[in-house]
């Protein structure tokens, strides 16, 4: 039995020979375990918190050598900030991601809508 360490999160897993995840800094073993955790969050009483798990995993396992990896990390960190510091419901995380991609960010108070400057 050999062990491998995930390049994203550093967790050590038993090497099952699973293929690495393309465009992610993750071993296949870590991705499989994360998939099981994320699936558990489909339970009705946990579903409203699932996006925390998805965003946290994405941040830890983004490939920093790619533009999409950097963008995904930024998107997930901004979304988690909106949950934790602005009171945005976690259940709206997917919608928040879509709005950020369009340059629109909501906060907990609907009148306070802001545009993100994507550079000028
Ligand atoms: Zn990992």
| Model confidence pLDDT, tens digit, residues 16-75 | 999 988 888 999 999 999 999 999 999 999 998 899 899 999 999 999 888 888 888 988
Q: How many whole angstroms separate alpha carbon 27 and alpha carbon 9?
A: 10
Q: How many folded domains does the chain comprise? A: 1
Lowest mean pLDDT among 9-13, 30-34, 50-54, 111-115: 111-115
Per-residue pLDDT averaged across 111-115, rounded? 42
Q: Evaluate whether residue 120 is within a structural domain.
A: no
Cα(first)–Cα(last) distance of the chain, in Å?
A: 54
| Confidence at residue 104, expressed as pLDDT on a 0 to 100 scale | 64
Domain extent at residue 80: 3-115
Q: Evaluate whether residue 24 is within a structural domain.
A: yes
Summarize pLDDT for 69-109 with one digit per residue, the tens. Answer: 888 898 889 888 888 888 888 888 788 878 877 776 555 54
Task: Give the Å distance between the CA of 29 and the centre of ligand 1.
Answer: 8
Q: Evaluate whether residue 79 is within a structural domain.
A: yes
Task: Give the Å distance between the CA of 110 and the centre of ligand 1.
Answer: 36
Q: Evaluate whether residue 58 is within a structural domain.
A: yes
Give 86's contacts (C-beta < 8 A, 6+ positions apart).
Answer: 107, 108
Q: How many whole angstroms separate alpha carbon 107 and alpha carbon 78?
A: 11
Q: Evaluate whether residue 25 is within a structural domain.
A: yes
Per-residue pLDDT averaged across 3-18, rounded? 95
Q: Evaluate whether residue 89 is within a structural domain.
A: yes
β-pair partners for 97: none
Task: Give the Å distance between the CA of 5 and the centre of ligand 1.
Answer: 8
Task: Give the Å distance between the CA of 111 and the centre of ligand 1.
Answer: 39
Q: How many whole angstroms separate alpha carbon 27 and alpha carbon 59?
A: 15
| Confidence at residue 17, expressed as pLDDT on a 0 to 100 scale | 96
Task: Give the Å distance between the CA of 2 and the centre of ligand 1.
Answer: 17
Task: Give the Å distance between the CA of 25 and the centre of ligand 1.
Answer: 7
Q: Evaluate whether residue 108 is within a structural domain.
A: yes
Task: Give the Å distance between the CA of 23 and the centre of ligand 1.
Answer: 13
């Amino acid at each position: 039995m050999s062990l491998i360490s995930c390049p994203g999160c550093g967790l050590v897993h038993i090497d099952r020979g699973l293929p690495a995840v393309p465009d992610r800094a993750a071993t296949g073993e870590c991705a499989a375990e994360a998939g099981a955790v994320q699936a558990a969050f489909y339970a009705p009483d946990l579903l409203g918190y699932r996006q925390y798990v998805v965003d946290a995993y994405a941040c830890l396992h983004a490939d920093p050598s790619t533009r999409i990896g950097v963008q995904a990390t930024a998107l997930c960190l901004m979304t988690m900030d909106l949950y934790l510091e602005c009171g945005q419901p976690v259940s709206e995380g997917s919608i928040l991601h879509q709005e950020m991609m369009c340059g629109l960010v909501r906060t907990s108070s609907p009148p306070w809508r802001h545009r993100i400057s994507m550079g000028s």
